[in-house]
Each structure stands twice: as C-alpha cells, then as structure tokens.
Amino acid sequence: MSQTAASLREQFPLLAAAPELHYLDSAATAQIHRAALDAVLHHETTSRANVMRGTYRLAEAADRAYGAARQSVARFLNADSADEIVFTSGATAALNLVAHAFGATLRPGDRVLLSVAEHHSNFVPWQMLRDRCGIELALIPVDADGRLDLAHLPELMGSRCRLVAVTQCSNVTGAWTDVAAIVAAARKAGARVLLDGAQAVQHGPQDVQALDVDFYAFSGHKCFGPGGVGVLWGRAEVLAQMPPFHGGGGMIVEVTLQATTWAEAPQRFEAGTPPIAQAVGLAAALEWMMTLDWAAIAEREDRLCRQLIDGLSRIPGLRLLGPLDGKRAPIVSFDMPGLHPHDICQVLDAGNVALRGGHHCAQPLLTALGVDVCTRASIALYNDEADVQALQDGLDHACRELA
Ligand code: PMP
C-alpha cells in the first residue's frame, strides 16, 4: 500500500475535503480515518442493538461486532486475551477507573508514584484518591527539558509503593518515558505500573507484554478512531482483584435486595450501555493502523519534527521546550516571550494552520519548565513538508503582526 503523506491524507475525509488546511493539532485529536467512519455507519445501519442483553438476531450481531472490536484492540496491544480489554469513554475515564478500582485496594500510607510530566487526567484522579483515602503521592521530577529524572527512583518509591502511574510520552514535550527502567524499579519494589498511552498510540501499535506493564490507557480519538471511546487494558490477575468502579447494568452476576455479586472482567468494569458503535469504529481504525509500515512513518514524522525544530530555532527569542536530541514524538512546544499562545494560534488560523496554545492540561510540567502557557504543534502520519512550511511562514507573520 502506498504510504506517502498525500496518499494517507486522502484517506481522511475531513482533510481530503479541506486541502488548504494544515492540521497540526493531532496530539489533541487526530483526524478520523475513513475506515472508522464507514465501520460506524455500517454498524449503526445494520447491527444497531444493545449488547450482552438481547437474544434476537440483531442483538446477536451487535454482540459479535462488539466482541470482535475487543479482539482487534487486544491484537493492537498484543494483549494476552480480549478479556483484558475494558472499553471506556476515553483515556481519562480509563485512568479514573484505575484510580477508583485499583485505588480501592490501597490502604492509608500506601504510595502511588506519578511524574511531574503527567497530563491532568493522570494527576487529578490520584489527588482525589489521596484526599479520600489517605494514600501518599510521590512525584518523579523532570529535568530542564521535561524528561523524567529517574536518578532517585528507589527512594521515591520508598517501602510502600503500590503503583507507578506515568505517561508513555509527554503531550507537551514529546519526550518518551524510559518505561523499561521504571518497570525494573517497580518490580523490585513490588509495585504495579500504569502507562498512559494517550500520546503513544497514534504512532503505532503497542505491545503491552513487551512493555511489561500492568495497565495501559488510551483514547480512540487520538488514534484515528471516533471520539467517546477509549480503552483500559489491565493484566488479567490485576483486574480480577479489583472491585468495580461504576455500578449498573451489565456488570453483575446477581442483584438481590441485599447485595450484588460482580461479573468477571471486562464486564465488571463496563456498567451500563457501552460505546458500541464507537468501539466498532475504533477497531476499524486500529485494524487499518496494523496494516501500515510504521518504520517508514516514524522516519517521516521524525524528519518533519527535525525540520520544524530547525525552523523554529531560527526565530529570534523563541524558546523551544522539551528535548532537542534523542528519540521524541513529533510534538513541538515553544514559548515566544511577549506573545500569548492564543494570539499566535489566531493569527496562524487565518493562514489555515491549526495548532494549540494554552497549558495543555499539564500545568505542573509547564511550571517546571518555567512557563504558564505555550504553543504546541503536533505532527501525525498525514502531515507533510507543506504543513511545516505553513507553520513557519505563519509564525514569521505572527511575529511581525503581534510584535
Ligand atoms: N493523557 C495524555 C498524555 C493526553 O495527552 C490526554 C489528552 N490530551 C489524555 C491523557 C486524556 O485523554 P482524553 O481527553 O481523550 O480522555
């Protein structure tokens, strides 16, 4: 299959219909692939019914489609079993699920280790748990480039660390986490590891067994699928020990006036009607992703990222945030003293360049980097040199316009 950026771009209806658009905000939401849209439409027009409830043929078709979606996610993550895949409404819901359900197995004084680089969705649920249950939170610091500083991991874990919950890739700096080092230290301390894969999944299929973590969370809208759906993968034996998060239909064996018994995972964690068509659409996106040559895509994304970094570093006064060397995801954030990111984004929008300004739901990381807000460009598989050039031209224009 041809994999030029142009041929990939054509497969995204929104981008195909807007050739003038330079979309550089895929870290917030990637565009949806045609296969995902088609799968949602096909499901809704041929198999729409509730799941795990009906015995008529239409309901059985819905069950089959939903079950097949679970299988696709399991293949995308190289999970041992589809029973380890819990559908949620997104990464945020997946992280809250762990904070509640795994959190319910923690005792006051137990420790959860996070990093300063976390997205708020992997910060706030843990702070809420700390305030409810008296657990301790500890933080892996970051270096001047926003990379996790793992020098003092054993001390940070202490003697009662039960979970290390970190991002696989920063949504601000593009820095990849050294997962192997964290897993090694966590295993020594007897702690579980949760990886927030929200920014990793749009750069290719993942392997939770090779990563050797215990939980993995991501959102469908960041990997070319629909919004409103996400995934929590959990190691079977860990899920088995967790109580439910939400109560409701579909997650029980029996309800009496006195008590309820829980279904096994994954149903135990999917109370209520799940996002059925969205899961089917997500599966189509992941199936498509699994046909791609990711080495070639990574090479192009990396080349564009370097080109962007080179171009930006020539703009007087502009400060690039994040590591400039080593392996990084194609996410480039910068600060222009005196220019507010919202103004920069507005001027660029006039030239059809879509990028993001603000705190990026990572205020602790921005504080550590010495800024309140910044502007972020993120590159995905459908971007090309013209997008990077348009950003650079737009920024030159913004500097003149706003100075
Ligand atoms: N973690 C990271 C690293 C993210 O970038 C995001 C989304 N920006 C999330 C979690 C939360 O994802 P969602 O809003 O789709 O739940």
Which among 345, 361, 374, 399 is annotated as catalytic?
361
Please provide the size of the chain in residues: 403
Ligand 1 pocket member 356 (CB < 6 A): no
Q: Whose CA is nearest to atom 8 of ligand 1?
A: 28
> Which of 88, 119, 169, 223, when mutated, tests ligand 1's pocket best, judged by the most ligand atoms within 8 Å of its CB?
119
Between CA 167 and CA 119 the distance in angstroms is 8
| Ligand 1 within 6 A of CB of 70 | no
Output the pLDDT for position 2.
56
Q: Is 72 in the pocket of ligand 1 (CB under 6 A)?
A: no
In 23-51, which positions are buried (b, 16+ CB within 10 angstroms) versus exposed (e)? bbbbbbebbbbbbbbebbeebeeebebbb
Give the residue extent of every domain in the chain. 5-24+293-402, 37-289
The SS3 call for residue 201 is helix
Which atom of ligand 1 is the closest one to the Cα of 227? 15
Indicate if ligand 1 lies below 6 Å from the C-beta of 88: no
**What's the pLDDT at 91?**
98
Q: What is the pLDDT of residue 1?
A: 52
Could you tell me the CA-to-CA distances from 210 to 205, 206, 233 in Å, in that order? 12, 9, 14
Ligand 1 centroid vs 107 CA: distance in angstroms?
28
Instruction: Report the distance separating Cα 215 and Cα 77, nearest Å.
Output: 11
Specify the pTM: 0.97
Task: Output the CA 112–ligand 1 centroid distance in Å.
Answer: 20
37-289, which class in CATH? alpha beta
- The residues, any chain, with a CB within 8 Å of residue 189's CB and separated by 6 or more, are 154, 157, 159, 161
In CATH terms, the fold of domain 5-24+293-402 is Aspartate Aminotransferase, domain 1 (3.90.1150)
| pLDDT of the residue at 54 | 83
C-alpha–C-alpha distance, residues 242 and 265, integer Å:
9
Question: Is 374 labeled as catalytic in the residue annotation?
Answer: no
For ligand 1, the distance from its centroid to the CA atom of residue 322, given in whole angstroms, is 18
Q: Check pocket membership of 196 for ligand 1, CB cut-off 6 A.
A: yes
Ligand 1 lined by 121 (C-beta under 6 Å): yes
Spatial separation of the C-alpha atoms in residues 117 and 196, rounded to whole Å? 11
Nearest CA to ligand 1 atom 6: 198
pLDDT per residue, tens digit, the chain (403 aa), is 558 999 999 999 999 999 999 999 999 999 999 999 999 999 999 999 999 888 899 999 999 999 999 999 999 999 999 999 999 999 999 999 999 999 999 999 999 999 999 999 999 999 999 999 999 999 999 999 999 999 999 999 999 999 999 999 999 999 999 999 999 999 999 999 999 999 999 999 999 999 999 999 999 999 999 999 999 999 999 999 999 999 999 999 999 999 999 999 999 999 999 999 999 999 999 999 999 999 999 999 999 999 999 999 999 999 999 998 878 999 999 999 989 999 999 999 999 999 999 999 999 999 999 999 999 999 999 999 999 999 999 998 888 887 7
